[in-house]
């Protein structure tokens, strides 16, 4: 069994105020560990972390600032690092992506080496695979990214893997859960609720519930966990139209038009579904929630809490209001 021998972890999380970072804070602190978040709030959520909690520290800043990063590491003395920070908000800003996803990653890796952290967990985009020739995509498939986000994140992952620090890099499906404000799920929910027109791309994606993601992340932090690169996914793909239909059903919307189905944009990929079989074997882990449950849980969150700003990794045009 994977374990940390009862040791309390001091986990330094870059991008710690983002959707995944906040979820990790909640899980880690609930299990008695300490959590330090560094976030520039470009896409993170101000106020999402419980700042009055004695086990949580949050500092505003960028991983590109190596001096600040070093001070934070020295102050916190982490035993573990989770690298969640990423630049993706503007697909045309190659420099910003390279600064954060490549140079920033190098800074984090070097600080982790300097402090001899026990485990380094990196989050990687499925866009690292580019346009795959085999779906579901096996972990041994070649990386061939073509977007700024994918290219820069793939370069950053290579630096993580080149480090002497024991590391796991998870190539992630679309993780759903509280505070999700990116992608088709919140987009359809928001637009349908506001009686705005929608369109669906003719593409297929895989989705992973946040609780399943957190279970795997905690296993990756264990002292005796495998190292390397792994896919995190259910392994099952679903058309974007299925998300639209689920949102229509949940909201009880009656449409007076047939939703347009458009082809993928030039910077999009028609089918991205990750094969998790090696992950399942190595970590004795598998996803518990299926697609219907994932959608139900996500829409229930939006019903209770609403949707924040919506971002996209792609340059696809936004339909008019």
244 and 265 belong to one structural domain:
yes
Condensed to tens digits (0 to 9), the pLDDT of residues 124-149 reads 999 999 999 999 999 999 999 999 99
Angle (CA) 63 66 72, round 5°? 75
Per the confidence metrics, is the pTM higher than 0.85? yes
**CA distances (Å), 126 to each of 44, 150, 157, 172, 201, in order?**
21, 8, 12, 6, 18
Which of 155-164, 173-182, 307-316 is least confident? 307-316
The per-residue pLDDT for 314 is: 52
Q: Could you tell me the CATH number of the domain that includes residue 267? A: 3.90.25.10
The band of 267, judged by pLDDT with boundaries at 50, 70 and 90, is: confident
Domain shared by 51 and 139, yes or no = yes
In a domain, 282, yes or no: no
Query: Does position 300 have pLDDT exceeding 50, yes or no?
Result: yes
Say whether 252 sits in a helix, a strand or coil.
coil
Let me know: does 299 contact 172? Beta carbons within 8 Å. Answer: no
pLDDT digits (tens, 9 = 90+) for 40-50: 998 887 788 87
pLDDT of 86 strictly over 90: yes
Mean pLDDT across the stretch 299-312?
A: 83
Percent of the chain scored above 90 by pLDDT?
Answer: 87
Collapsed DSSP state (helix, strand, coil) of residue 274: strand
Q: How confident is the model at residue 4, as a pLDDT?
A: 60
Average pLDDT of span 226-253: 98
CA 62 to chain centre: 18
pLDDT on residue 182: 87
- Residue in the block written with tokens 């969640």: 84
CATH number at residue 165: 3.40.50.720
Are 46 and 194 contained in the same domain?
A: no
> What's the domain count of the chain?
2
Is residue 101 domain-shared with residue 199, that is, in the same domain?
Answer: no
Mean pLDDT score of the chain, rounded to an integer? Answer: 93
The answer to the question of residue 135 being in a domain is yes
Which pLDDT does position 5 carry in this prediction?
60
- For residues 260-295, one letter each, b for 16 or more C-beta atoms within 10 angstroms of the residue's C-beta and e for the rest, the string is eeeebeebbbebbbbbbebbbebbebebebebeebb
Q: How far is residue 212's CA from residue 234's CA, in Å, rounded to a whole number?
A: 9
Looking at the chain, the whole-number percentage of residues with pLDDT higher than 70 is 94
Quick check: is 45 in a domain?
Answer: yes
Given a cut of 50, is residue 168 above it in pLDDT? Answer: yes
Query: What residue numbers bound the domain in which 223 lies?
Result: 10-176+209-232
pLDDT on residue 318:
44
146 and 240 part of one domain: no
Q: Does the structure show a pLDDT above 70 at 6?
A: no
What's the residue count for the chain? 321
Nearest alpha-carbon partner for 157 in 172, 177, 174: 172
| Side-chain-side CA neighbours of residue 107 (13 Å) | 21
Residue range 96-128, pLDDT digits in tens: 999 999 999 999 999 999 999 999 999 999 999
Are 131 and 199 found together in one domain?
A: no
Same domain, 29 and 133: yes
Task: With cut-offs at 50, 70 and 90, classify the pLDDT of residue 317.
Answer: very low
Q: What is the pLDDT of residues 190-235, one digit of tens each?
A: 999 999 999 999 999 999 999 999 999 999 999 999 999 999 999 9
């Amino acid at each position: 069994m994977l374990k940390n021998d009862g040791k309390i972890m001091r986990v330094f999380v870059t991008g710690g105020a983002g959707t995944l970072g906040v979820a990790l804070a909640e899980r880690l602190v609930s299990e008695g560990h300490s959590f330090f978040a560094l976030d520039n709030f470009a896409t993170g959520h101000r106020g999402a972390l419980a700042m009055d909690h004695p086990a949580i520290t949050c500092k505003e800043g960028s991983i590109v600032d190596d001096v600040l990063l070093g001070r934070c590491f020295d102050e916190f003395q982490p035993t573990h690092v989770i690298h969640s920070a990423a630049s993706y908000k503007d697909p045309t800003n190659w420099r910003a992506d390279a600064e954060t996803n490549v140079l920033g990653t190098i800074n984090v890796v070097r600080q982790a080496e300097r402090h001899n952290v026990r485990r380094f967990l990196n989050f990687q985009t499925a866009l690292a695979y580019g346009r795959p020739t085999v779906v579901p995509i096996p972990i041994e498939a070649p990386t061939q990214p073509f977007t700024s986000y994918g290219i820069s994140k793939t370069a950053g992952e290579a630096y993580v893997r080149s480090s002497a620090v024991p590391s796991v890099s998870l190539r992630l499906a679309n993780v759903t859960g509280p505070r999700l404000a990116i992608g088709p799920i919140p987009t359809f929910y928001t637009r349908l609720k506001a009686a705005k027109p929608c369109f669906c791309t003719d593409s297929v994606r895989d989705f992973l519930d946040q609780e399943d993601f957190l279970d795997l992340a905690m296993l990756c932090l264990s002292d005796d966990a495998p190292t390397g690169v792994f896919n995190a996914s259910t392994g099952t793909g679903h058309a974007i139209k299925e998300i639209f239909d689920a949102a229509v059903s949940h909201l009880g919307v009656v449409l007076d038009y047939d939703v347009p189905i458009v082809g993928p944009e030039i910077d999009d990929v028609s089918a991205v579904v990750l094969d998790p079989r090696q992950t399942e074997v190595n970590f004795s882990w598998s996803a518990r929630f299926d697609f219907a449950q994932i959608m139900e849980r996500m829409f229930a969150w939006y019903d209770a809490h609403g949707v924040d700003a919506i971002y996209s990794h792609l340059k696809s045009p936004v339909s008019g209001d």
